Structure 1
Amino acid sequence: MDKGEKTKRKVIDAAVSLFNVKGYSGTSIRSIADRAGVNVALISYYFGNKQGLLEELMVEFFEGYNKILEEAYQDLKSVSPKTCLFSIVEKILKYQQHNHHLARFVHREVTLDSTLVRELMMTYFMKEKHFMKAIIEAGIDKEEFRNLSCDFISIQIRALLTMPYSQPQYIREVYHLYPHESYFVQQYMKHIKKWLQEFLYTENDGKIKKQLNIALY
């Protein structure tokens, strides 16, 4: 990483830290520059203004997020939909764990109605929907997944993956769990896998039917 990239990284890290504490509107370019230890002019040079810095943060996060989905989608050519789906679960949780401050800010920011958020919806969110739908439909076609609504499955999986990083304070204060720790990610992945097995995968359908038949007769 050259000097310019290091400076940009310092500014981005400072902005994420302040945005999480004071909010986007409550944070000034001057305070970001002071936190990063750089001149205000450097922020203008790299990002234009505070809006440009916000866009950089959002794009950086969703580029990494969607890259995981796209790679899993490409893997459908060689591995099962079930493997692709759990790869998404594992990698997105670890991605957010590694970028937990940025994830918290971005997830909070996309709940607001703004031109930037609408643009993100039309680009990154629509791509996310496309990749998830393709993987789920492939699983249904191969009878690995139950024939359920692709849209509702996608919504439920997304909620499971993003909630710990959109509301980390709630999880810390109420449950005394820490989403930024590896232990949390490992245990949470186990529970999501169990949920997928019980709710989505067809592997237990024969066993369930047998149990129902025994109960009926």
Structure 2
Amino acid sequence: MTEFNDKQIDILQAAEKLFAEDGYDGTSIRTIAKEASVNIAMISYYFGSKEKLLEALIIHRTSGMKIQLENIFKEDLLPIEKVERLIDLYISRINKNKCMYQILHFELSTKKRIMDMNAFKDVKYENLQAFTKIIKEGQELGHFRKDVNITLIPPTIMGTLVHFQMNKPFFEPVLGIKTEEEYENYIKNELTAHIKQTIKALLVHEN
């Protein structure tokens, strides 16, 4: 399920806020219900359990990217320009949904719960397929190298950004960043340019 009604979205947003602030284990269905201004029975009706609620949140935040990727593929652009648009899309979505990615990273790394991640895997697989189409187009035109490990391109993009976000207290003084606006501008400009340069170096033939 990737389509949610307004009330379900209210519950998901409340859960995301509380999971990010207090952790999954530190958040109860009761506090989520209070935050979303609904009763506990409604959460049980829509999602069944707190674990299923977390799974639904992941799907809610990650679905929809396939359509945006397909739209980039259809545009009349050079393959490298499509890749740059793709990187802009990844960075904007991860930055917008950083709370969810922090929750997801923690849950996957601790392995405290046996979560049904099939739906999340399906979304990631669809995203990778769209990404692969763009890379293969560039390879067929002779613009990109044939020996590219396409599967590792998305984690190269995401890993750089997520590491930068998770180590914000370290990078701010090192880079002389003093405000939240400067931090966001750094991600949008310098960090994005660095990631694009890195991916281009992996894709394009050496001169």
Alignment TM-score, normalising by the size of structure 2: 0.77
- Give secondary structure in 2 for the equivalent of 1:181: helix
Change (3 A) 1:10 1:89: same
* Contact 1:55/1:116, CA 8 A, preserved across alignment: yes
Gaps of 5+ in 1: 209-217
Task: Tell me how far 1:81 sits from its aligned partner.
Answer: 1.9
Higher relative contact order (CA 8 A, sep 6+): 2
Tell me, yes or no, if the aligned pair for 2:33 and 2:39 is still in contact at 8 Å: yes
- 2:99 aligned with 1:101: yes
Equivalence for 1:50: 50
1:34 matched to 2:34? yes
Q: RMSD of aligned C-alpha atoms?
A: 2.8
Relative to structure 1, the CA distance from residue 82 to residue 98 in structure 2 (aligned partners, 3 Å threshold; closer, same or farther) is: same
Judging changes above 3 Å, is the alpha-carbon distance between structure 1 residues 132 and 163 closer, same or farther for their aligned structure 2 residues? same
Looking at structure 1, the residues matched to 86 and 123 of structure 2 have their Cα atoms a distance apart, in angstroms, of 16
* Greater shift in the superposed pair: 89-98 or 39-48: 39-48
Deviation at 1:50, TM superposition (A): 1.6
How do residues 106-185 of structure 1 correspond to structure 2 at under 5 angstroms? Answer: 106-111=104-109, 112=111, 114-121=114-121, 123-151=122-150, 154-165=151-162, 168-170=165-167, 172-176=168-172, 181-185=184-188
81 and 114 in structure 1: CA distance in 2 versus 1, 3 angstrom threshold: farther
Aligned length: 194
Counterpart code for 2:126: K
Shift of 1:82: 1.4
The 10-residue stretch of structure 1 (47-56 or 159-168) with the greater mean CA deviation from structure 2:
159-168
Give yes or no for contact 2:145–2:203 (8 Å, CA) kept in 1: yes
Deviations, residues 70-92 of structure 1 (Å, cap 9, x unaligned): 3333x26x432212211110012
Mapping 1:7-22, distance limit 5 Å: 7-22=7-22
Contact 1:29 1:50 in 2 (8 A): yes
1:189 paired with 2:192, answer: yes
Unaligned runs of 5+ in 2: none
Aligned counterpart, 1:214:
none
Q: Which amino acid aligns with 2:83?
A: L
Residue 23, structure 1, aligned to residue 47, structure 2: no
List structure 1 segments (4+ residues) > 6 angstroms apart after TM superposition. Answer: 177-180
How far off its partner does 1:180 sit? 7.4
| CA–CA distance in structure 1, aligned partners of residues 58 and 186 of structure 2 | 27
Larger radius of gyration: 1
Deviation at 1:16, TM superposition (A): 1.0
Any idea what the Cα deviations from partners look like across 1:11-48, whole Å, max 9, x if unmatched?
22221122223332332101212233332223223323
Going from structure 1 to structure 2, the CA distance change for 1:144 and 1:107 (only over 3 Å counts) comes to farther
Q: 1:212 is matched with which residue?
A: none
Cα distance in 2 for partners of 1:191, 1:166 equals 14
- Distance (Å, rounded) in 2 between the aligned partners of 1:166 and 1:57: 22
Q: Percent identity over the alignment?
A: 24
State the one-letter code of the partner of 2:156.
A
